[in-house]
Amino acid sequence: HVQLVESGGGSVQAGGSLRLSCAASGYSYSSYCMGWFRRAPGKEREGVAGLYTGGGSAVYADSVKGRFTVSRDNAKNTLYLQLNSLKTEDTAMYYCAANLRYEVVPTLRPDRYNYWGQGTQVTVS
């Protein structure tokens, strides 16, 4: 039973930082793609960042480049998203997702991810 559990969301002032975590369990793939997505009220789900746990460059949405950093601790089976220089427009529910289809190129397309967490709220004021 694949499970992704996000944590680390909260309320911060503009310019502040947060670190989101996504603990993964229930599968034994050694390398796969994972991503962070977000959905703001009244808006479409948006890909934020993605990476391949086997190595290589991460991908980022233009709106977060230079401010957000995605990383992965394979020993802990945990994905992270460091959010710096937060803006009010970053306010959203943030979701972690896993692509367990043996793909090696990370993407920000939500339809390529087949497992999702429940989300963690980030509010920037």
Q: What is the pLDDT of residues 13-67, one digit of tens each?
A: 999 999 999 999 988 777 889 999 999 999 999 999 999 988 889 999 999 999 9
pLDDT of res. 102? 82
What Rg, from alpha-carbon coordinates, does the chain have? 13
Distance of CA 3 to the CA centre of its chain: 14
Burial class (CB in 10 A: 0-12, 13-18, 19+), 117: buried
- At 7, the pLDDT band (50, 70, 90 cuts) reads very high
Q: CA-CA distance, 48 to 121, in Å (whole number)?
A: 14
Considering only CA atoms, which of 76, 77, 59, 56 is closest in space to residue 68?
59
Cβ contacts of 65 within 8 Å, gap of 6 or more: none
Rounded to an integer, the average pLDDT of 118-122 is 98
pLDDT of res. 38? 98
pLDDT of res. 74? 87
pLDDT of res. 104? 86
pLDDT of res. 123? 98
- Mean pLDDT of all residues in the chain? 95
Burial class (CB in 10 A: 0-12, 13-18, 19+), 118: exposed
